[in-house]
């Protein structure tokens, strides 16, 4: 039977518990503490000899610590004799630095994925990594869980929506969701007025007047991009603007910024610690992760 090891954070424990319940697996809670110098200590207090093990730890802030704790838990599981160790990071930090944008920069996501592999993981899974092609940096098998259709069906969203990607690069997210609920989709483009210099964000092809709009994105950090887009859409006559996101970082001021732009609700997958705000609705995706990991790694 597969064993699920829960990382040392509430979000990680919650997600791990959901995965274990969906798989009918035993869950193990780790021991953890901080040394006086700030270093992390983790310990898996049960025998894992010969077991397939899923280690679940999301890379929440402080990200460096979370990355290191996940790597140490993978090593600990192998040290206890696990036959296979699948590292599951619902949110994967450093994924936006997926290439050397300037000479002398590291490919940060490659560093993270190679560290997890070197620590002893035989597989890796995450929810909606920023660029799916980044998973090629992981030397073993890697699974990217795309949550949007699951989220939409969980809350009963229907095909009367106009699903918008915030830019052309995010079209696959919007298209996949829209097709699954029989909705229209488009993407946003920026235009600068040559007279006033004002920047306007608008859909490429579809008129939003009188439409209910859902902006779909992988991550919300400061919320600035979403806020600008929502203001533009409402000024063009959109009936309502809501947002669906895989990862809500919860940076102070981000929710207020988005809400002040006219967005009524943010639907966020539960991949990071919850933000206590009535305008945010979290959706538990642990059963989705469980299914994708089970199929992807034949557990």
Instruction: For the chain, give every domain's residue range.
Output: 3-145+287-297, 149-264
Predicted model pTM: 0.93
Phi/psi of residue 34, nearest 5 degrees: -115, 135
Residue-level pLDDT at 208 = 87
Which residues on neighbouring strands pair with residue 201, listed in sequence order?
190
Query: Across the chain, what does the average pLDDT equal?
Result: 94
List the strands of the sheet with 52-56, edge to edge.
26-29, 3-6, 52-56, 84-89, 123-127, 141-145
Fold of the domain spanning 3-145+287-297? Rossmann fold (3.40.50)
Residue 114 contacts residue 134 (beta carbons within 8 Å) = no
Domain 149-264 belongs to what architecture?
3-Layer(aba) Sandwich (3.40)
Residue-level pLDDT at 167 = 86
Give dist(CA 277, CA 267) in Å, integer.
12
Active site (annotated) includes residue 190: yes
Residue 224 contacts residue 197 (beta carbons within 8 Å) = no
Residue 230 contacts residue 262 (beta carbons within 8 Å) = yes
Q: What is the pLDDT of residues 104-162, one digit of tens each?
A: 999 999 999 999 999 999 999 999 999 999 999 999 999 999 999 999 999 998 778 99
Of residues 10, 33, 141, 190, which has the active-site annotation?
190
Residue-level pLDDT at 170 = 86
Residue 268 contacts residue 254 (beta carbons within 8 Å) = no
The residue ranges of the chain whose pLDDT is under 50 are none
Q: Give the contacts of 62 (CB within 8 A, at least 6 positions apart).
A: none
Give dist(CA 159, CA 56) in Å, integer.
34
3-145+287-297 and 149-264 share one CATH topology? yes
Backbone conformation region of residue 120, classed left if phi is above 0, alpha if psi is from -120 to 50, else beta: left
% of the chain beyond a pLDDT of 70: 96
């Amino acid at each position: 039977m597969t064993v699920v090891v829960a990382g040392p954070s509430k979000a990680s424990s919650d997600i791990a518990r959901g995965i274990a319940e969906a798989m009918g697996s035993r869950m193990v809670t780790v021991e953890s503490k901080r040394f006086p110098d700030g270093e992390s200590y983790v310990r898996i207090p049960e025998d894992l000899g010969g077991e397939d093990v899923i280690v679940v730890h999301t890379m929440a802030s402080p990200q460096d610590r979370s990355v290191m704790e996940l790597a140490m838990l993978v090593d600990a599981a192998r040290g206890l004799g696990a036959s296979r160790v699948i590292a599951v990071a619902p949110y994967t930090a450093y994924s936006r630095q997926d290439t050397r944008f300037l000479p002398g920069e590291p490919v940060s996501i490659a560093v993270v994925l190679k560290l997890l592999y070197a620590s002893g993981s035989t597989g890796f899974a995450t929810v909606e990594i920023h660029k799916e092609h980044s998973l090629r940096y992981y030397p073993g098998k890697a699974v990217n869980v795309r949550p949007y259709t699951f989220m939409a069906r969980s809350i009963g969203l229907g095909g009367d929506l106009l699903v918008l990607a915030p830019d052309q690069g995010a079209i696959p997210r919007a298209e996949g969701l829209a097709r699954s609920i029989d909705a229209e989709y488009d993407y946003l483009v920026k235009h600068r007025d040559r007279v006033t210099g004002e920047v306007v964000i608008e859909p490429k092809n579809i008129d939003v007047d009188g439409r209910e709009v859902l902006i779909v994105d992988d991550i919300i950090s400061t919320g600035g991009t979403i806020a600008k887009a929502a203001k533009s859409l409402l000024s063009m006559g959109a009936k309502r603007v809501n947002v669906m996101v895989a990862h809500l970082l919860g940076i102070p001021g981000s929710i207020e910024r988005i809400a002040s732009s006219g967005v009524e609700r943010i639907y966020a997958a539960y991949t990071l610690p919850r933000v206590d705000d009535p305008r945010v609705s979290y959706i538990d995706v642990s059963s989705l992760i469980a299914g994708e990991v089970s199929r992807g790694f034949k557990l």
